[in-house]
Structure 1
Amino acid sequence: MLNTLGLPPNSLIALIGCAGSGKSSLSAMFPRSWVLSSDRHREDVADDAGDQSANSDAWNLLYARLDARLGRGLPAVVDATSADASDRAQLLTRARRHGAPAVALVLDVDVSEALRRNALRPPSRRVPPAVVVQQHSRIAAADLAAEGFARVVRSGELPVLSTVLHRLAAEHGTRTDLIEATFGTEAARLITWDVPSRAPEHRTATLAAGGEELLLRYQDGGDPYDHRFEVEVGGCPNDADCPGPAWSPVHHLGDLLAAQAGNPANESRCDACEGDEYGI
């Protein structure tokens, strides 16, 4: 996987971004066993991912797992803010100790968007806005290459969404059941029902990762045997003059991957064509 992304094998990959920058969705590119999350380790030791009093125990656990993986020559992805040079130095020290290349994967996000996302978090995980701004500024000013990172990569340089879909499709195959069962537990974490809906007469949801997104809608025409998700695939497939949009059924992650690549696996249907001069 790392070779496909142009990253060194057996790397320590530090996700670097302020609170609300999208580190958790970006980490979905990688197998869960690779990802060492400070939030998840706080939850592991204190049953609350937002319990800052658990930081010491959580980081001790994270560092122990990091050393174990790097010591075995396995890649590790550290999902934490890493806004301070001192925190990054701890990671770099461990990378050098184990002879692992250190990669800084920096989240490209405007501070206004990070603040918006942070405001939507549960209260226990919400970071004061002034701290988010400070984190964003410190990361922007950091000279990561001079600190010792072998590679500095911006999230916008990577095919995040297609990588997530490739990985999840390989892991979950064509398992079906509504969001979680249709697309799998991990994919469900990246899908949010839209409020209000973005399409007339249907519930819609957005699948987003790394600044890319797919718009889904849940198709329920009243027939209990014809409930399904559809993905928006662009303009009308029948007439270039028709404004669209067109939708294609998606039954599993492989269908989402095909749609994201611009080659829907199933026949597309244009809403604007229904019952008018563009009739299919």
Structure 2
Amino acid sequence: MTTDLSPLYPQLPENALIVLIGASGAGKTTLARTWPAFQVLSLDTLRGWVSDDEGCQEASGDAVDALHLLVDRRMARRRNTVVDATNVTRDARAPLVAAAKRHNMPAIAVVLGTPEAVCLARQVPRPDNRTVPADTVRVQHQLMVHSHQSLRAEGFNEVHFAENLYRLEPFLRRLGEARDADLGLDGSNGLGDLLLVRRVFGPEILPLWQWKHRSGVAGGDRVAEIRLGQLHLTLALRRDVDGEGDYAFDVMVPCPFDPECRGYAWAPADNITSLHRALTGPLDNHEDVVCSVHGGFDDVDQEADEHDHDDDPEGRADLEAQHADAVRT
């Protein structure tokens, strides 16, 4: 495949106002995601910002006001801006084009000519508050078709159809650059080992994550701590799960077999919910908990347990609670 695709696919200006035009379900949001997130102004997202509900149609007026304000401020800074909204009427497009002209920025119309039947089919799996009625979609599609001939007259510098855009290469290049930055291959510190942390637990946990160097609590595996105030969780990075070389995390929990156990018990932690359950207790008796002294539920050596608490269940519960507090605080 040739790498020089520019003769076949038009290149957009580096900085411009790019207005996506298409009926609901045409694929505007999918296309918009090929640009960096900060450059995209989504009407749905703005509805969420002003009302906590992206599907709240009553918030559309406020969302449009916010959209126009942000477009104007970004045009003033000469920032590339993509407007993700239906924009099928001239009245909807006029304030956007005016903002671009006010700040001497090019305005680019990108028409998504997705067939009407496809737009209608894409409404089916959407939640009720995000589903656009079929009659509305048909009207939007007709307006999109009829608007194409008038876009130049409205002030757009260029008009393109989405299927002709050269978006895959810059999208893949941007993702590759982000990946190199995460790994530190661009000369920066990068995220390094935190890549796996982010993939499993999400980016929000990264500011709380600290690797504990020279810790021996995980049998030689790397140990980390998530701490906020007095509460913390201890985790182990397992580099050879099931002997197959896979990576995974365990989180430390109280030993479920002996509240006075001096070993270290671990439960699998494969998402952020696992961490919440470890902190609050429901993970303590997970079937896959393994203690460094007692093993797992399938191979606990009851004879090696010198503490028989069967006759004192209340005392056992108190000890378990104390041990749980010791692990988590």
Alignment TM class, shorter chain as reference: 0.5 to 0.7
1:77 aligned counterpart, secondary structure: strand
**1-side partners of 2:243 and 2:94: how far apart?**
59
CA contact (8 A) 1:10 1:70 kept: no
Offset from partner CA, 1:199-257 (integer Å, 9 cap, x none)? xxxxxxxxxxxxxxxxxxxxxxx975369xxxxxxxxxxxxxxxxxxxxxxxxxxxxxx
SS of the counterpart of 1:119? coil
Aligned to 1:66: 71
Unaligned residue ranges in structure 2 (runs of 5+): 1-5, 184-194, 204-241, 248-329
Q: Is the 8 A contact 1:35 1:78 kept in 2?
A: yes
Q: Which has the higher mean CA deviation after the structures are superposed, 169-178 or 63-72?
A: 169-178
> Normalization by structure 1: what TM-score?
0.61
1:12 aligns with 2:17: yes
**CA deviation string 1:126-170 (max 9, x = no partner):** 100111111111111112122221100111112333332222222
Distance 1:24 1:223, change over 3 A: farther
Q: 1:154-193 counterparts in 2 under 5 A?
A: 154-173=161-180, 177=196, 181=199
Task: Determine the structure 1 residue equivalent to 2:38.
Answer: 33
Q: Cα deviation per residue 1:58-81 (whole Å; 9 max; x = unaligned)?
A: 111111111111001111111100
Higher relative contact order, structure no. (Cα contacts within 8 Å, ≥ 6 residues apart): 1
CA distance in 2, matches of 1:37, 1:14: 11
Instruction: Name the % identity.
Output: 37
1:104 corresponds, among 109, 112, 122, to: 109
Q: Which amino acid aligns with 1:25?
A: T
Describe the shift of the 1:72–1:50 C-alpha distance in structure 2 as closer, same or farther (beyond 3 A).
Answer: same
Tell me the distance in 2 between the aligned counterparts of 1:43 and 1:225.
43
* Aligned partner letter, 1:149: F
* 1-structure distance, mates of 2:243, 2:60: 51
Q: 1:37 to 1:156 in 2, by over 3 A?
A: same
CA 1:169 to 1:137, structure 2 compared with 1: closer, same or farther past 3 Å?
Answer: same
One-letter identity of the residue aligned with 1:62: L
- Which whole-Å CA distance do the structure 1 matches of 2:57 and 2:244 have between them? 47
1:189-228 correspondence runs (5 A):
224-225=244-245
SS of 1:118's equivalent? Answer: coil
Q: How does 1:51-90 map to 2 (within 5 A)?
A: 51-90=56-95
Larger radius of gyration: 2
Q: Give the corresponding residue for 2:152.
A: 145
Deviations 1:12-57 (A, max 9, x none): 1001111011111101111111111100000001011010111111
CA contact (8 A) 1:16 1:107 kept: yes
- Equivalences, count: 187
